[in-house]
Amino acid sequence: MRRRLKSMTLGLLAGTLALSLAACGTAKNTDNEGGQTSGGSSKVTLELAISKSSQDSPFIADWLIEEFEQETGIKINLQLIPAEQSTTVLQTKLAVDEVPDLIQYNLASAVTDLNLERNFEILDNEPWVSRIQNPDVLSAFGHIYGFHVSQDTGMQGVVYNKDIFEELGLSIPKNYEEFLAVCEAIKAAGYTPVFMPYKDAWAANIWPAAAFADWAAKNDPTLFDDLNSNKKQWTDIPAFEEILEQQYQIYKLGYTNADVLADSYDMAVGKFLSKEVAMMFMGDWLIQNITSQDPSMNIGLFAIPYAEDPSIGASPLGGQLFIPKKSKHIEEAKKYLEFIASPEIAQRIVDAESYVSNLSDVTTPEQPEYKQEIIDNYITPEKVTLTMDAHMIVDQNEWYRNLQDQFTGMITPKEALANWNEKFQELMKDKGAEGF
Amino acid sequence: MHKSKSMYPYYLVLPALLVYFIFFAFPALIGFYYSFTDWRLDRTTIQFIGWANFERIFSDKILLLAIKNTLIFAVVTVIGKNVLGLLLALGLNMKLKTRNLLRAIYFTPSILSILVISIVFTPILRTEGMLNGLFEWLGFESLAQAWLTNPSIVIWTISAVAIWQGAGFQMTIYLAGLQGISKEYYEAAKIDGASGWRSFWNITLPLLLPALNINLMLTLIGGLKVFSEVYVLTGGGPGNASQVVGTIILRAFGEGNWGLGTAVNTLLFVCVAIIAVPLIIFMRRKEVAE
C-alpha cells in the first residue's frame, strides 16, 4: 500500500512538472508575440527565406543587413533552407500562412513552384521601378513581381576551354557540321570534346532548350504560346526531333565521356580544371565557378551551334527577391527593396558582383573577359533568346527524364517528344490551363 | 493463479494512445480522404473526385512500372537479406576465434548512412568502375554491365546493394534467435543419430520461427516502402527505369499533384497491410511456444 502511494505521488509530481514546463513554454511564446505586434517600442524583424545554395547572395550580405538596421531600425532574420528542400519548405510555408516577409527565388520557377500570381505582391508602383532598364526580367503576367539590381540573366550555350581551342587552332563553330569537326579535332588530340553529366537530368536540356527557343524565334514566334494553349502538339515540330537527334549523335560518335548517365554535374568543374574536357553545354555560371578556383583558366561561351548563326540562350533571371502577399510586414519589406535600390547601395552591390546593372543611375563595372565577349558578341547585337524554360508553366522534370531515356537508347527523339506531350497535356489539364 | 495477468489498469495506456491517434492515425485517415480528392498545390479549394486518382495510377505506365519495380525490390531483398542473414548467423554462431570481430564487421554496413553507401558504390558500379574493372582483370569481360544505367538491370543492382547493406542486421536477429535454442535439443538429436541437415530442418528452423517472423516482417515492409536506396543511387533513373512507389510519391508531390501522391501512398498502405497482416497471423500460429 505504501509503495503504491509513493509511486503515485512520484507520478503526479512528474506530471505536474511536465505540465508546468509546457505552460511556461507557451507563456514565453505569447509574450514574444505580444511584444512584436505591439509595434512602437520594439523593433520589427523581417524574415528572409533563402536556399542554402544561395548563401553567397549579395542581398543577404552582412554589411547590407547591418547598414539597413542602422538606418531604419528594422532587423532582418535569415531563414536558410537546405537546397533540395527549398521548394517544398517554401510551398508549405505559403500553404499554412506562415509566410516569410521576403523570399529569394528564381522568377521562372516561382511561377510554377510557388504559384507566383496567387501568393506574391505586385511591385509595379514601387519608387525604384521607373529606374529599371529591363523590367522584363523581373516580370510575369504583365506585372513586376521580383527585384534585382542585375539584368544579367544566366546565358546558356557551350562553355569551352579557350586554351585548348587555341592550342589546336580551332575557331568557334557556327553550325552543326563545323561543331562535329571541332569535336573530331579535339578527340584526336586526346581530350574529351564534350562533358555530358546526364545523371543530373536537367543538364540534358541545355542544348534542346536553347535550340528549340532559337528555332521558334526564327521560324514560328508564337510556337510556345500555341503549345501552352494546346493549339500545337510537341510532336508536330520535326525540327525538335532533329535537334534532339543532334545531341544524341554527339554521344554516339564518341565525342563525350563514356558514362553520360552516371556522371553528375558536380564533377564538371573538376573535369575542366584537370583539362580533361574541352566543352560542355551549360550556363556561364559554370565559368565563374571554374575561374574562381583557378583564375589562370581561359573559359568562354558560345551559342549552341544547332544550325546556322544561332543566338545565345538566356535563362530567366534568378536570385530575385519577392514579397509574399500574406506577409505581416509588407511596408517594411518594401523598404528593404528601396534601400537596396538606392543608387549608392546598388552601385556597391553591382561593383562587388560585376553585375550588368539594371538601374539607370547605376553604372556597370568592367566585366570579366568572358562576360564582355558575351556582351559584345550576343547581347549588344541582340542575338539573345529566352530559352524554353522561360515559357513553361509546368514542372519539366518528366521532360528531363525523357531526355535521359533517349540517352539509354531505349526511345527515339520522336517517342521522347510523344511521351512528354502526353505528360504535358496531363500537367496542363491539372493546372486548369485553357485549351486542355 | 489468483489475479488477472495484467498488473496495471487499462486506462494507463490512454495518454500514449491519444498521442498515437493524434499524430499517426488521424493524419493517416485524413490522408485516405485526400486520396479521393483533387488536392493540388495551386488550388485553394479541393473537390471530391472519387476513384479518379486510382484509375490514373493503374493506367499510367510509369506508375505501373514503379509498382513492378517495388515488388521486384521487395521480393529480392526479402529473400536475399534473410537467406544471407541466416547463413551468416549460422556461420557466426559456431565456435570461431574471430567470431565477435566478424559479427561486428558484417553488422557495420547496416549502420552506415545510405548516402555514404551511395557515394561508395557509385564509383564501384560505374561502367568504367571498379566492379567492371575487376571482371576485366579476371578475364570475364562479358560480365561487365552498365550496372546503374542499363534500364533493365538497374533495379536488381539497387536490390543487391540493399542486400549488402541490410543482411548484417537480419544476421543479428537470427543470432539472437539461435542463441535462444537450448543445446539439449541438439544433443538429443545427435544421440538419435540425426544428420546436420535434419537437425537444422527439424530443430533450428521451427525454434527460429519468432526470429524468422520478425525478419520477414521487417524486410517485407521495408522492401515495399523503399525510397532512400533508390533515390540516392539513381534518383529513379535513368529516365524512369528504377522508379519505385516511394520515389513516385515524391515525384507526384513535386509536380504539385498532392492528391495523386496521397492516393499512391494509400495504395501502398493497403498493399502492405494486405500482405503483412495475414503473414503475421499465419506465422504467429506456427510459432512454437517455449
pLDDT > 50? residue A32 = no
Q: How far is B83 from chain A (nearest CA, A)?
A: 31
**Is B239's CB within 8 Å of A410's CB?**
yes
Q: Residue A34 falls within a domain, yes or no?
A: no
Facing B238 at nearest CB: one of A88, A261, A394: A261
Q: How far is A432 from chain B (nearest CA, A)?
A: 10
How many cross-chain Cβ pairs, A to B, lie less than 8 Å apart?
70
Co-location of A393 and A261 in the same domain: yes
Facing B42 at nearest CB: one of A118, A397, A408: A118
Instruction: Give the pLDDT confidence score for residue B288 in this predicted structure.
Output: 54
Instruction: Give the pLDDT confidence score for residue B3 in this predicted structure.
Output: 55
In percent, the amount of chain A with pLDDT more than 70 equals: 93
Q: Residue A205 falls within a domain, yes or no?
A: yes
Q: Residue A284 falls within a domain, yes or no?
A: yes
pLDDT > 80? residue B284 = no
**Is A115's CB within 8 Å of B127's CB?**
no
Residue A408 vs residues A34, A136, B152: alpha-carbon distances, Å: 60, 38, 10
Lowest mean pLDDT among A38-47, A401-410, B254-263: A38-47
* Closest CA in chain A for residue B233: A262
Instruction: Give the pLDDT confidence score for residue A25 in this predicted structure.
Output: 45
pLDDT > 90? residue B5 = no
The verdict on ipTM greater than 0.95 is no
Q: Does B110 touch chain A (CB under 8 A)?
A: no
**Is A397's CB within 8 Å of B241's CB?**
no
Co-location of A232 and A256 in the same domain: yes
The class (CATH top level) of B56-286 is mainly alpha
Co-location of A321 and A291 in the same domain: no
**Is A259's CB within 8 Å of B241's CB?**
no
The domain limits of chain B are: 56-286
Instruction: Give the pLDDT confidence score for residue A197 in this predicted structure.
Output: 93
* Closest CA in chain B for residue A427: B255
Q: Which residues of B touch A404 (CB under 8 A)?
A: 237-239
Q: How far is A259 from chain B (nearest CA, A)?
A: 6
Q: How far is B269 from chain A (nearest CA, A)?
A: 23
Q: Which residues of A touch B235 (CB under 8 A)?
A: 199, 201
Alpha-carbon dihedral angle through residues A15, A16, A18, A22, given to the nearest 10 degrees: 140
Q: How far is A202 from chain B (nearest CA, A)?
A: 11
Number of structural domains in chain A? 2
Report how far apart the first and last C-alpha atoms of chain B are (Å, whole number).
20
A155-161 and A277-283 beta bridge pairing = antiparallel
pLDDT in tens, A82-102: 877 788 889 889 888 899 999
Q: Average of pLDDT values for A198-212?
A: 92
What CATH number did the domain enclosing A214 receive? 3.40.190.10
B3, amino acid identity: K
pLDDT band for A76, please (50, 70, 90 cuts). Answer: very high
Facing B126 at nearest CB: one of A262, A410, A427: A262
Nine-digit cell string for A263: 556522371
Burial A26-55 (b: 16+ CB within 10 A, else e): eeeeeeeeeeeeeeeeeebebbbbbbeebe
Q: How far is CA A163 from the centre of its chain?
A: 29
Q: Residue A40 falls within a domain, yes or no?
A: no
Co-location of A252 and A384 in the same domain: yes
pLDDT in tens, B73-106: 999 999 999 999 999 999 998 888 898 999 999 9
Contact between B104 and B110 under an 8 Å Cβ cutoff? The reply is no
* Closest CA in chain A for residue B258: A430
Lowest mean pLDDT among A121-135, A232-246, A380-394, B21-35: A380-394
Q: Average of pLDDT values for B200-219?
A: 88
**Bond preceding residue B238 cis, omega within 30 of 0:** yes
Instruction: Give the pLDDT confidence score for residue A21 in this predicted structure.
Output: 60
Lowest mean pLDDT among A202-216, B62-76, B182-196: B182-196
Co-location of A302 and A267 in the same domain: yes
- To the nearest whole number, what is the mean pLDDT of chain B? 88
Spatial distance between the Cα atoms of A213 and A311, rounded to a whole number of angstroms: 9
Co-location of A126 and A265 in the same domain: no
Q: How far is A208 from chain B (nearest CA, A)?
A: 16
* Closest CA in chain A for residue B150: A408
**Is A405's CB within 8 Å of B150's CB?**
no
**What is the domain extent for residue A91?**
45-152+317-362
Facing B238 at nearest CB: one of A95, A405, A431: A405
Q: Average of pLDDT values for B175-189?
A: 89
Q: Residue A380 falls within a domain, yes or no?
A: yes
In percent, the amount of chain A with pLDDT more than 90 equals: 53
pLDDT > 80? residue A313 = yes
Facing B256 at nearest CB: one of A258, A395, A407: A395
pLDDT in tens, A366-397: 888 888 898 889 888 888 888 888 888 888 88
128-157 of B, contacting A, C-beta below 8 A: 128, 146, 148-151
pLDDT in tens, B104-134: 999 999 999 988 998 899 889 988 889 999 9
Q: How far is A243 from chain B (nearest CA, A)?
A: 19
Q: Dihedral sign, CA of A49, A53, A54, A55?
A: positive
Facing A408 at nearest CB: one of B122, B125, B151: B151
Q: Which residues of A touch B255 (CB under 8 A)?
A: 394-395, 397-398, 427, 430
Report how far apart the first and last C-alpha atoms of chain A are (Å, whole number).
76
Facing A410 at nearest CB: one of B146, B151, B254: B151
A155-161 and A299-302 beta bridge pairing = antiparallel
Q: Residue A13 falls within a domain, yes or no?
A: no
Q: Does B126 touch chain A (CB under 8 A)?
A: yes
pLDDT band for B206, please (50, 70, 90 cuts). Answer: confident
Residue with cell 574493372: B133
Instruction: Give the pLDDT confidence score for residue A384 in this predicted structure.
Output: 87
pLDDT in tens, A316-373: 777 899 999 999 999 999 999 999 999 999 999 888 877 888 888 888 888 888 888 9
- With a CB cutoff of 8 Å and minimum separation 6, the contacts of B243 are B62, B65, B66, B69, B230, B236, B251
Instruction: Give the pLDDT confidence score for residue A107 in this predicted structure.
Output: 86
**Is A261's CB within 8 Å of B149's CB?**
yes
Alpha-carbon dihedral angle through residues A383, A389, A392, A393, given to the nearest 10 degrees: -120
pLDDT > 90? residue A298 = yes
pLDDT in tens, A129-167: 999 888 878 888 888 999 998 887 789 999 999 999 999
- With a CB cutoff of 8 Å and minimum separation 6, the contacts of B113 are none
Q: Average of pLDDT values for A421-433?
A: 88
Q: Average of pLDDT values for A101-105?
A: 94
pLDDT in tens, B226-251: 999 999 888 887 888 999 999 999 88
Q: How far is A401 from chain B (nearest CA, A)?
A: 4
Instruction: Give the pLDDT confidence score for residue A166 in this predicted structure.
Output: 94
Residue B87 vs residues A12, A228, B106: alpha-carbon distances, Å: 51, 59, 12
**Is A262's CB within 8 Å of B241's CB?**
no
Co-location of A299 and A175 in the same domain: yes
**Is B237's CB within 8 Å of A404's CB?**
yes
Nine-digit cell string for A31: 509574450
**Is A259's CB within 8 Å of B254's CB?**
no
pLDDT > 90? residue B71 = yes
Helical segments of B60-113, H only: 61-91, 99-107
Co-location of A306 and A427 in the same domain: yes
* Closest CA in chain A for residue B253: A88
Co-location of A280 and A386 in the same domain: yes
* Closest CA in chain A for residue B243: A401
Q: Residue A279 falls within a domain, yes or no?
A: yes
**Is B149's CB within 8 Å of A259's CB?**
yes
Q: Residue A297 falls within a domain, yes or no?
A: yes
